[in-house]
Amino acid sequence: MIRALILGGTADASLLAAEIARARIDAVYSYGGRTRAPADQPLPTRIGGFGGVSGLAGYIRSEGITHVIDATHPFAAEMSRHAVEACAKTGTPLIALERATWTKAPGDNWIEVADVTAALAALPETPAKIFLAIGRQHIAPFATKPQHAYTLRFVDPPEAPLPFAADVIVSRGPFTLDGELEMMRTRGIAWIVARNSGGDGARAKIDAARKLGLPVIMIARPELPDRQRVESVAEIMQWLGHRTCLGA
């Protein structure tokens, strides 16, 4: 009898949860507790960390989890590492739902960098209007270049004072091309800093940058541990032994 744990927190994980609920598979959806009001799911939902690898292994055992699906964001590397270790420890089948990276299209002006530090170094010295589309957790280093006018985008309003003067947009996405074009034009954005999240929920800013001919400093994904990975919900459902109306 299947009892699946979905490590969620992304648009793709929500699509998977809907399919799993439709197939009436026994499952639990898990959020890390990063946002104040995460989207509701059609499955029993838990919110917050497990307490490291041992906490996750303990949860798998106590909850009788038979399958783990890592549908977390490609930058949630620590959660992915813990899932690999806890599933190895408990002998639990694990699969990752991991969307493809965004790839450069003709007309894109990308400066591809390895991490936030390299993204900071890639910024111009002369003052510019910069859209930092990398969330809240990793903005502190940009305080070392206060000459720029920063626009940030968070899911929730900032609780603490920001490490530097900035304009904050509070929005959880998914975002539209028109909305991104409007925002970038009215704010006179000259540079975008983004992470290569992949997926459709946040790619509109990349398409808008291309249309406006703006440079994008694109932060590459962190190394993720080896594990079975697929890019579609249908492949996850097949892995669970269910044919879906999605075909394949």
In single-letter form, the type of residue at position 51 comes to: G
- Please identify, among the stretches 4-12, 89-97, 98-106, 144-152, the one whose residues bind ligand NAP according to the rule CB under 6 A: 4-12
What DSSP state is assigned to residue 61?
Answer: H
State whether the Cα torsion 15-19-20-22 is positive or negative.
positive
Cβ closer to ligand NAP: 93 or 173?
Answer: 173
* Residue 38 in the binding site for ligand 3Y8 (CB under 6 A): yes
- Contacts with ligand NAP in 80-139 (CB under 6 A)? 82, 135
Among 22, 54, 61, 78, binds ligand NAP (CB under 6 A): 78
Spell out, one character per residue from 160 to 189, where the chain touches ligand 3Y8: x when CB under 6 A holds, - when not: ------------xxxx--------------
- Please identify, among the stretches 57-65, 112-120, 154-162, 226-234, the one whose residues bind ligand 3Y8 according to the rule CB under 6 A: 154-162
Rg (CA), the chain: 19
Residue 199 binding target from ligand NAP, ligand 3Y8, none, CB below 5 to 8 Å by type: ligand 3Y8
Q: Residue 176's closest CA among 133, 214, 207?
A: 207
Residue 155 binding target from ligand NAP, ligand 3Y8, none, CB below 5 to 8 Å by type: ligand 3Y8
- Segments in 138-219 forming alpha helices (H): 177-187, 204-212
- Give the 3-state DSSP-derived string for 2-56, with helices as H, strands as E and coil as C: CEEEEECCCHHHHHHHHHHHHCCCEEEEEECCCCCCCCCCCCCEEECCCCHHHHH
- Segments in 42-176 forming alpha helices (H): 52-63, 77-90, 116-122
Q: Give every strand in the sheet of 229-230, ordered side by side.
A: 45-47, 26-31, 3-7, 67-70, 94-97, 229-230
Shortest distance in whole angstroms from residue 106 CB to ligand 3Y8: 22
- Contacts with ligand NAP in 57-76 (CB under 6 A)? 72-73, 75-76
- Contacts with ligand 3Y8 in 186-215 (CB under 6 A)? 195, 197, 199, 201-202, 205
Q: Is the peptide bond before 74 cis (omega within 30 degrees of 0)?
A: no
Shortest distance in whole angstroms from residue 85 CB to ligand 3Y8: 19
# binding residues, ligand 3Y8 (CB under 6 A)? 31
Angle, helix 204-212 to helix 177-187, in steps of 10 degrees? 50
Sites of contact with ligand 3Y8 (CB under 6 A): 9-11, 14, 31-35, 38-39, 133-138, 153-156, 172-175, 195, 197, 199, 201-202, 205
Sites of contact with ligand NAP (CB under 6 A): 7-10, 30-32, 34, 49-52, 55-56, 72-73, 75-79, 82, 135
